[in-house]
Structure 1
Amino acid sequence: MAKEFKLSAERLEELKQELNYLKTVREREVADQIKEARSFGDLSENSEYDEAKNEQGKLYSRIAEVENILANYVIIEEHEEAPNSVRLGSKIRVLDLEFGEEESYEVVGSQEADPMNGRISEDSPFGRALLGKAVGEEVHVEAPAGMVRYKVLDIQK
């Protein structure tokens, strides 16, 4: 069974647009690079040709990756059964109980994770620890530096 990729509707649209760009504009650009590099002569010592072929390989790899995601995605939807708990798509505010600092995060699918910008994957240790928690509950996360404790302050959908 293929892995399911959990995506927001916005990320789904971004991937569809990326795939369209890769298959139309970018594929044509790479083909032109290869054609131009071939015109330089001997392919055995032609670094431009080698670079263009490498670029083509990266392009086809990314196309296959995006097609796989688009073939196996699940849209993150609002759930009514536990409206006041953390779930995929929730925007949360937590208090770091050790340092007394407030932090904000959004729980997203692994394809949308960007920890440096506050978007944490549901598959990460912190994301898994947060799922199902309600406002006021403590979250304990095993980190390389030891146990980290947070308190959920606010949950928005």
Structure 2
Amino acid sequence: MADVTYYTKEGIDKLKEELHHLKTEGRANIAKAIAEARDKGDLSENAEYDAAKEAQGLHETKIAKLEGTLASARLIDESKMDNSKVLALSKVMIKNVKNGATMTYQLVSETEADLKSGKISVKSPIAKGLLGKSVGDKAQIEVPAGKMEFEILEISR
């Protein structure tokens, strides 16, 4: 069985929307490409037909994978979460102790992670170092550039 992954409502909705698109428009486009290739004659020597069939197989694999992801997805009820500690879906304001720079991240599942919008994976080194900590705690985190120390300034949802 796949690992359970926790998502925001927005993240689950995005997965469902992508799956719907793949099952409707995506399948229709591939069926159209197969039909066009089939109309070009002898299938035994038709590279276009072979490519379209291969694309269909890859497309169905992607649909199956997405269905598996949704089957193991769980929505977190943020109203029941403890704001005194850093948990999955927490928004955390941290300060780099060395240079004083502050940043805010939300800890999300790997598939929702998007650094540009301030969402980092709970499996990233920074998130792992912050999980379970409280406001005022300092965390020494091993990142590719070496050890960094962060102080937790604020935790919210």
Instruction: Specify the TM-score bucket, using the shorter chain as the normaliser.
Output: 0.7 to 0.9
- Kindly tell me the number of residue pairs found equivalent between the two proteins: 157
RMSD value over aligned CA atoms? 2.0
TM-score by length of 2: 0.87
Could you report, residue by residue, the CA deviation over 1:1-26 in whole angstroms, capped at 9, with x for unpaired residues? 32112111121122122212211221
* Cα contact 2:112–2:121 (8 A) shared by 1: yes
Q: 1:6 touches 1:110 (CA, 8 Å); kept in 2?
A: no
Question: What amino acid does structure 1 have at the position aligned with 2:140?
Answer: H
Deviations 1:76-95 (A, max 9, x none): 22265632221111111111
In structure 2, what is the equivalent of residue 139 of structure 1? 139
Give TM-score, length-normalised by structure 1: 0.87
Give distance in 2, aligned partners of 1:44 and 1:124.
49
What is the distance in 2 between the residues matched to 1:43 and 1:90? 55
Unaligned 5+ segments in structure 2 are none
Are positions 1:57 and 2:49 aligned together? no
Q: 1:82 is aligned with what amino acid?
A: D
Question: Which residue does the alignment assign to 2:34?
Answer: 34
1-side partners of 2:136 and 2:72: how far apart? 35
Q: How does 1:4-83 map to 2 (within 5 A)?
A: 4-43=4-43, 46-78=46-78, 80=80, 82-83=82-83
Note the C-alpha offset of 1:44: 5.5
CA contact (8 A) 1:95 1:152 kept: yes
Identity %: 39
Q: Does 2:120 match 1:117?
A: no
Alignment-derived partner of residue 156 in structure 2: 156
Letter aligned with residue 92 of structure 1: V
Moved more, 27-36 or 107-116: 107-116
